[in-house]
Structure 1
Amino acid sequence: MADIKTFYLPDLGEGLPDATVVEWHVKVGDSIKLDAPLCSMETAKAVVDVPSPYTGKVVKLYGAPGDIIETGAALADFEPDPNAKQRAEAEATGHHHGPKKAEEAKPAAKAEREDEGTVVGAMVSGNTVHVEQAASIGGVKAGPAVRALAKKLKVDLARVRPSGADGVVTMQDVKDAAANGSAALGAAPARAVPASAGRHLAPELPQPEPQRGPVSLAGKPVRTAPPSVQANGQPEQLKGVRRNMARVMADAHAQVVPTTLVDDADLHGWIGKQDITARLIRAIVAACQAVPALNAWFDGKNLSRTLHPQVDIGIAVDTDDGLFVPALRNADVLDAAGIRAAIKRLRTQVEDRSIPASELSGYTISLSNFGMFAGRYATPVVVPPTVAIVGAGKLSHDVVAVMGGIEVHRRMPISLTFDHRAATGGEAARFLKALLDDLSLPN
C-alpha cells in the first residue's frame, strides 16, 4: 500500500488562525515537485503561494477556492516519490511543536498521523478541516482576492463564467475573461431583460379597493406603522483582510484603555506647496523623539513596555477588501523624498496584493490620515502592542484671533489616541504639542 502523507496548513503569518484558498495550481492525480507552487492562499495580510512539501503525486485536495482552512488543518494528501529526495523536515518522524491549540489536542488524535512538512515556521497538529463557501455578493461567488483582481483588470464578475466548485469564480476565470474581453466593465449585460417582460409572467390581477385607514376623533387620518418587511440582504462570511480586521478590532477593544486628545495644527506659516503626508510623518518622528513613551509597545499581561529607538510608522491604507496597515520603516532617517517614495511603494504593493506579510506588522506607532476623505476629529483605535495612533482630519480655513485683529489660517485637526495603561496624560499632551510645533514650522 502506498505511503500517503498529509500536509497541514502552516502558519502563513504571525499567529494567523486561518487562510482562504484562492486557487489550486494542481489537481488530484497530478505529479508535483518539491517546492513547486501547490496553491495560493489569502491570509489576513496578503495572498501567499504555498509550495509543495513533497515530490510525488497529489492524492487529495482539501477545500475549493473560497473555502477557509484553519491553520493546522489538512490541506493536501501526497504519495511521495520514493526515489526522489524530499525536504529534510518532511521526512522527519514524530511531532513538530506547534501552537498551543495543537499541543492541547488529545493524545489519541495525535497518534493518528504525523505532521508532514512545513512552509513557514513549525507545523501544528490537527485532523479536522473547517471550510466555508465563498461569499455570494450580487449573485456571484468569489473570494476577496478574486474580487480584487477583477477590479484591477476591470472585469465584471457578474459576466464571468465560473469554473470552480459550486459556481465559484476563480483567479483563472478572471484572467481568461480579461484576456478575451468577454466581461469588460461597462459592457452591455449578457441577457438584457426588457422592462415589459414582467407583464408576461402572470396575468394582471384586479387592483383591490383602497382601504380606509383609522381616523382620529377630529376626522383626520391617523398614521400607522408600515407592515414589517423582511430584509433581502444575504449574510456574507468575512474572509481575509476583513476577517482579520474584525478580530483585531475586537481584541483592541477588549484590551486597550484608550484616551483621545484633540487639537489643531496651524499651517499658516508654511512656505510654498508642501507634501502634507510627509510633513505629518516628520512631525510624528519629532514627537516620538521628544516623548519616547508613545513610540513604544506595551505588554498588558506582564505589565511591561518596550521603548523603541527607531520610528516605524504604520500607515492605514483603505481598500475594498478591508484595512491594511503597512509599516513605513525607519521614518526617522528618511527625508521628504524618501518618505514619499516609501509611501508610494507601500500603497502599490497593497493595491496589487504583493506586499510581504513582514511589512504589515512590527510598527511602533500608527497614522490614520482619514481627512483625505472627510472628518475633522476621531478616536482612532490603538492596536496592541502599540501605544498610540495619530489621526489627521480634513484641512480647513478657520478664522483665528491674533494680536490686533483676526486672520484666516489653514489648519489641520489632529487626534491623538493613546493607551492610558502605558502612558500618562501629561506624556500624551507633550507628545501632541511637539507634533503641532513641528507642523507649524515654515518648511
Structure 2
Amino acid sequence: MSEKKLFLLPDLGEGLPDAEIVEWLVKVGDVVKLDEPLVSMETAKAVVEVPSPYSGKVLRLAGGAGDVIETGHWLVEVEIDPSLPQRADAQDTGHSHSHKPAAAPVGGTSVPNAPPAESIGTEVPPTGEEEGDAGTVVGAMESSNAVRSEQAIAVGGVKAMPAVRALAKKLKVDLARVTPSGANGDVTLADVKRAAANPAPAAPAPRPTPVGGTSVPRPLAEKPQPTARSIGTKVPPTDSEVKLDVDDPVRGVKRNMIRTMSQAHAEVVPTSLMDDADIHAWAPGEDIMARLIRALGVAAQAVPALNSWFNAKEGTLRRHSRVDVGIAIDSPDGLFVANLRGAEKLDAWQIRGELNRIRDGVRTRSLPPEDLRDYTLMLSNFGVFAGKYATPVVVPPCVCIVGAGRLYHAVVPVLGGLETHRTMPISLTFDHRACTGGEAARFLRALLDDLQRPH
C-alpha cells in the first residue's frame, strides 16, 4: 500500500502563527518532486514560495487562495512515490513547527482554517508611494533565516516573483497577457501596474501542456535584481478602493501589526518629550531623512542608554555600540520596519542609497529577513503626511523611537527683531522602565544640536 504523508505548514518567520495562501502552484492529482514549489504564502513580512519536502502525487490541499493556515496545520497530503528522491524523515528542512499540532484531514475533502475575527485598534495611515520619505507609527516585523530566497519561477509559461503574482491577483491582471520587461523574461511589478492601467490585450504567452497527468516542472530562474526607482513615483492611492461596511478579515502585515502593538502596549511604560529643531541654517536641498538619521547616530553615541535593548524578564539593558535605525515604511500591504544598519558610519549619500534600496525592497516584497529586524532604535517620519507632534509606539526590546513632524515656519526673536525660521518638530517617546528622564532629555538635546548645524 502506498505511503501517504502530511506536510505541515512550517514556521515561515520567527514565531509567526499563520500565513495566508496567495496561489497554489500545484493541484490535486499533480506529481510534485522534492523541493519543487507547492504554494505561495503571504506572511507578515513577505510573499514566499513553500517547497515540497516529498516527491509524489498530490492528494489534498488545505484551503484555497485567501485562506489563512495556522503554523503547524497540515498544508498538503502527498502519496509518496518511492521511485523519486525523498528527504529522510530526520533531515532538517530548515523550518520549525513551533505552534499548534496539525489538524488531520476530515473525510475526503480539505478543511481550510477559518481566519479568526479580529478588530484593528490602530488606524492605518494613507497608502501609496508619496514623494519624499514616507513614515508612520512604527511596528515590528518578525522574520527568520529559515525562509528560502525568493526567485522567479515559471508557472504556466510565465516567470514572476511571488509578490508580482500576488499583485496581479489583487489587480485582476492575467499574467499570461502581460509583456515582461524584467531580467530573463520575468514579469515585474511595473509590468503588472502598466497592464492594470492599460487593459488593452497583449499576445498571450505560450503555455506548456502537461504530459501524462504529470505536472510540468517549474525551473527556477536567477533572482532578478531590483531596479532603482524614484521615491517620487506616484501610484494611485488604495484608500479609496477599500470595501466599506464589510467585516474583512485582517491578515498578513496588518495582522502582525495588531499583535506587535498589543505587546508594546502591555509591556512598555511610555513617556514622551517634544521640542523643535531650528533648521534655518540648512543649505538648500538638504536631505531631511539623511540629516535625521545622522543626528540619531550622534545622539545615540552621546547617550547610549537610548540606543539599547531592554530585557524585562532578565532585568538587563544592552547598550549598543552600533546604531541600527528601524525605518517605518508605509505600504499598501501594511507597515514595515526596515533596518538601516551602521548609521553612525554612513555619509549622506550612503544613507540615501540605503533608503532607496530599502524602499524598493518593501515595494517588491523582496527585502531579505535580516533587513527587517534587530534595529537598535526607531524613526518615524510621520510629518510627510500630517501632524507636528506625536507619541509614537516603542516596540520592545528597543527603548526609544523618534518621530519627525511636519516642517513649518516659526517666528523667532533675533537681535531684538523677529524672523521666520524653518522648524522641524521632534517627538521622542522612550520606555521609562529602561531610561531616566535625564537620559532622554540629554539624548533629545544632542539630536537637536546636530539637526541645527548648518552642514
Q: Normalising by the residue count of structure 1, what TM-score does the alignment of the two structures yield? A: 0.73
Question: Aligned partners of 2:383, 2:176: CA distance in 1, in Å?
Answer: 39
Tell me: CA distance 1:57–1:123, structure 2 relative to 1, closer, same or farther (3 Å). Answer: farther
In structure 1, which of residues 117, 120, 136 is the aligned counterpart of residue 95 of structure 2? 120
Query: Does 2:284 align with 1:309?
Result: no
User: Which of 101, 109, 113 lines up with 1:131 in the alignment?
Assistant: 113
Q: CA deviation at 1:124?
A: 5.7
Q: Is the 8 A contact 1:156 1:183 kept in 2?
A: no
Amino acid at match of 1:120: H
Alignment of 1:288-299 (within 5 A): 288-299=300-311
1:36 aligns to what? 36
Contact 2:358 2:367 in 1 (8 A): yes
- Structure 1's consecutive aligned runs of 4 or more residues displaced over 6 angstroms after TM superposition are 150-153, 180-183
For residues 407 and 162 of structure 2, what CA distance do their matches in structure 1 show? 33
Q: Distance in 1 between matches of 2:92 and 2:3?
A: 15
Contact 2:324 2:341 in 1 (8 A): yes
Identify the residue that residue 54 of structure 2 maps to in structure 1.
Answer: 54
Is contact 1:65-1:134 (8 Å) kept? Answer: no
Q: Does 1:17 align with 2:17?
A: yes
Displacement of 1:273 in angstroms is: 1.9
For 1:421, the equivalent position in structure 2 comes to: 433
Contact 1:256 1:419 in 2 (8 A): yes
Judging changes above 3 Å, is the alpha-carbon distance between structure 1 residues 241 and 125 closer, same or farther for their aligned structure 2 residues? closer
Aligned to 1:383: 395
The answer to which structure, 1 or 2, has the higher relative contact order (CA under 8 A, 6+ apart) is 2
**Contact persistence 1:371–1:394 (CA under 8 A):** yes
Out of 346, 350, 353, which is 1:341 matched to? 353
CA distance in 1, matches of 2:244, 2:429: 38
Q: Distance in 1 between matches of 2:99 and 2:269?
A: 34
> After superposition, what is the alpha-carbon deviation per residue over 1:213-262, rounded to whole angstroms, capped at 9, x for unaligned?
xxxxxxxxxxxxxxxxxx97110100000100111111111111100100
How far residue 185 of structure 1 moved from its aligned partner, in angstroms, is: 4.0
Which of 412, 432, 439 is the aligned partner of 2:451? Answer: 439
Partner of 1:198: none
2:213 is the counterpart of 1:238: no
Bigger helix fraction: 1
The residue correspondences of 1:19-418 to structure 2 (distance < 5 A) are 19-88=19-88, 91-92=89-90, 118-121=93-96, 126-128=101-103, 131-132=113-114, 157=171, 160=172, 174-176=174-176, 178=178, 184-185=196-197, 233-418=245-430
Q: RMSD in angstroms over aligned alpha carbons?
A: 2.9
Unmatched 5+ stretches in structure 1: 93-115, 136-145, 161-172, 189-230
Distance 2:12 2:283 in 1: 47
In the aligned structure 2, how far is the partner of 1:68 from the partner of 1:6? 18
Distance 2:368 2:260 in 1: 19
Matched with 1:430 is 442
Q: Which consecutive unaligned segments of at least 5 residues does structure 2 have?
A: 104-110, 118-160, 180-190, 201-242
Equivalent residues of 2:47, 2:163 under 8 A apart: no
